[in-house]
Structure formats: structure tokens, C-alpha cells
Amino acid sequence: MDEAARLDVPQPPDDEELARYEHRFREEQQRWQEILHRNAERLARGEYSLAWLDTDGANWGRRAKPSSRGLTFMDVHNVKGYGDVPKHVVWRNFAARGSVRDRYAAEMPTNDNYDVLDAIDVWADNVNTLYEEAKARQWNATRDIPWAELEPLPDDLEKATSQMCTFLTEVEFIAGDFPAKWMYRIPQDFLEVKNFLSSQIMDEARHQEVFRKRAIAGGGLLHAAPGFEWALKAIIDAPNHTMGTFLLNVLGEGLVLSIFRSGEMIAKTHVDKEIFRRCLQDEARHVAYGVAHLEHHLAADLGLRDRLRAAVLRRHDALAQTAGLNEQVFDALVVLAAGAWTPAAIGRGHALVEGLQAEMDDGRRGRLARLGFDEHEAAELSALHTRNFM
């Protein structure tokens, strides 16, 4: 058999881990079997329970009415009993919020993975509208980009484009990994957040896909960005969801949002412009969620702003590495903005990229100001980001 065609033999599960799993199962099996056995006995007697017809404690009879867009989360939340998001979750199982579940509490399992139990740690007031928008604006990186119309660029511009796409492939991978890391820890009562994060993961998978495809269609992937890798590691290693969201959605994706916006302007083919345009609309949602989540958290936790500021000001903290441009993307942007590798053009391109950095600074200041940092603090923190990364 050809070596490349041979499949790896799956490794058996770790014996100790499998033993622990089986032990937990045996401990829970008796309670589980009692419930199932009770039902089996009833069926053997030829009886029906029909307990599910009892609407006492249910929100039965209150019907959701669709709006002009269809039946949205907002429409469902207008029905009493379904839009009430708790500040703290006590239900660490899979029962749907708004269902009849109190009477079954003693028989339900507990999912220990559900440990993000306070709304302050994940909620954003715009999460429902962002989720509805995300569904409506999904696109297909295989079908919706006019790949057949992509024409070769001059070698320097093609390499600059491929280097930019290599960098963005790197960035977008972690942008999907971070929400995935937290999503399974969020319980059913915060289902709107889970749904939005699932849409963000899909967005980032599509971005990683489209930039990888663009690089390979133009010549190939180029250089990884080790400087930025440390910033990406800081995001995935964040000790809690709010800190990671500040790093990723507010600062990191704010930077990428500026790159997408400038990328649409300096792209050299209409195919590239279409890629950046579509990614831009997705990235704007992620930033909007991050800012709104931080606003929600800050409204209830007055000390959070000081903790975020202190984290930025500590030079050793990787938070200071989430803004600015590393050498690979900076140089590639300069070449794309210049349009040619000549001294006169490169000078013009450098000036345009400096303008992009100024736009990034304005964006950072604006988001920080919206989160309650005063003008001096916002300017200080934004400047620190640039100095530490450039």
C-alpha cells in the first residue's frame, strides 16, 4: 500500500481515563435506571402517563407572533416566560429555559462543564439582534466568491496579497478557537449567547477558509507571524471569558476590522475586494458583541475597568500585544497600498499605511471611550499598544 494512502491506526482510549468514565457511569446508572424502569413498568401495564399534558407551571397558551423578518429571537422574547434571562444560573443541565423543569429537578443530572453561571460574564444586550443578523448574512466561501474571475497579479503584488492572507489565516483560526473554548461551558439559560458564539465560530471558520484559498489560488501561503502568535496565545490563555473577549473582540478584532476596511480599498482585484467586503460585515458583528458585553459587565462591576487598565499598563502582560501591525502584515500592506515596488510608490504606500495605523488608533480610542475610559486613559492605552507591538 502507498505510504501516503495508509491511514493511522486509531489509538485505544487511555485506560485510566476510560476507567474513570466507567466508574462515573456506574455511580449514576442506578438513578438513571430507576427512571427508565418506572416507565417500562407503566408500559407493561398498558398505561399512558400523559403527564406532559399538564400545563401547570408552563407558559402554555402564550403564542409567539412573527414579525416582518420572520419569527426572531426578539419575537419569542416578547412572550412572557421565555425572554427572562437569569442573572445567575442554577440549572446545570440541558433542560430548556422556559420549559417545565422544576418538578424534575431531583432526577436531573448535573453537567459540571457548565461553570459560567453568571450573566455578567457572557451577556450582551445586542446578542439577539446580532445572532439574527449573522444567520441572515451567512455566505459560502466556495460559491459566493467569483474565483473563476481571479487573474494573476504582478509578482510583488501577488506575494504581498498572499502574505496578507497567510497572516489573516493565522489570526482567524484563533478567533474561532476562543469562543469554542467557552461555548461548551455556557449553560442552557444563556442559549442566546451560545447561539451567537456558534455563529462567530462559523464566521471565523469561513474567514480562515477564504484567506487560505486566496493565498493558494494566487501562488501559495507565505510566512507565519511569530510576533503575533504570542498575542494569539494571550487570547486563548485568558483567565476568563470577559478578559478574553476584551482581548479578542474589542482590541484584536477591532484591529482586523480596520485591516478589512483598508483591504477592501487597496485590494488589486475585484475578487479580493469581495472577500474583504464580506469578511468586514462579519467582523463588525464580533466587535459589536465584544463592546456590548464589556459595557454590560462594566455596568455591574465597577472595578473591572481598573483591572483592565492595570493589565494593559503592565508591560509584561500579553494584553499589550493585541494591537499594531507585525512586520509581515505591515510590509505587505505597504506594497499593496503602493501598487508597485518602486521608491516613489513605496513612499506613498508607507504614508497610506501610517494613515491606517492612525485609523486603528482612533478606533481603539473610540471603543475604550465607549467603555468609560476617559480621553487621557484611552489615548495612553492606545499609544501603549502601538509602542509595544510595532
Of 34-48, 118-132, 211-225, 268-282, the least confident: 34-48
Half-sphere exposure of 236 (CA within 13 A, CB side): 14
Class of domain 119-389: mainly alpha
Say yes or no to pLDDT of 8 above 80: no
pTM, 2 dp = 0.89
Give residue for cell 426578539: 74
Helix boundaries (H) for the chain: 15-44, 73-77, 127-136, 155-183, 191-218, 226-236, 241-245, 253-266, 270-300, 304-313, 327-338, 343-370, 375-389
Q: What is the DSSP string of 46-58?
A: T----GGG--TTS
CA distance 117 to 40: 36
| Biggest alpha carbon–alpha carbon distance for the chain | 91
Q: How many CB atoms sit inside 10 A of residue 375's CB?
A: 10
CA distance 256 to 98: 38
**287-338 per-position pLDDT tens digit:** 999 999 999 999 999 899 888 877 766 644 444 444 456 777 889 999 999 9
Q: How many CB atoms sit inside 10 A of residue 316's CB?
A: 6
Report helix, strand or coil for 78. Answer: coil
**Residue spans per domain, the chain:** 13-49, 119-389
- Residues 192-211 have a mean pLDDT of 98
Residue percentage of the chain with pLDDT more than 90: 59
Contacts of 233 (CB under 8 A, 6+ apart): 318
Contacts of 332 (CB under 8 A, 6+ apart): 159, 160, 161, 163, 164, 167
Say yes or no to pLDDT of 198 above 90: yes
- In this structure, are residues 176 and 201 in contact, taking their beta carbons and an 8 Å threshold? yes
Say yes or no to pLDDT of 32 above 70: yes
Of residues 197, 199, 157, 154, the one with CA closest to residue 179: 197
Of 113-122, 216-225, 329-338, the least confident: 329-338
Partner residues linked to 118 by β-bridges: 88
pLDDT value of position 267: 93
Residue percentage of the chain with pLDDT more than 70: 90
- Residues 203-211 have a mean pLDDT of 98
CA distance 273 to 169: 17
Give the confidence band of 265 by pLDDT, cuts at 50, 70, 90: confident
Of residues 237, 232, 173, the one with CA closest to residue 205: 173
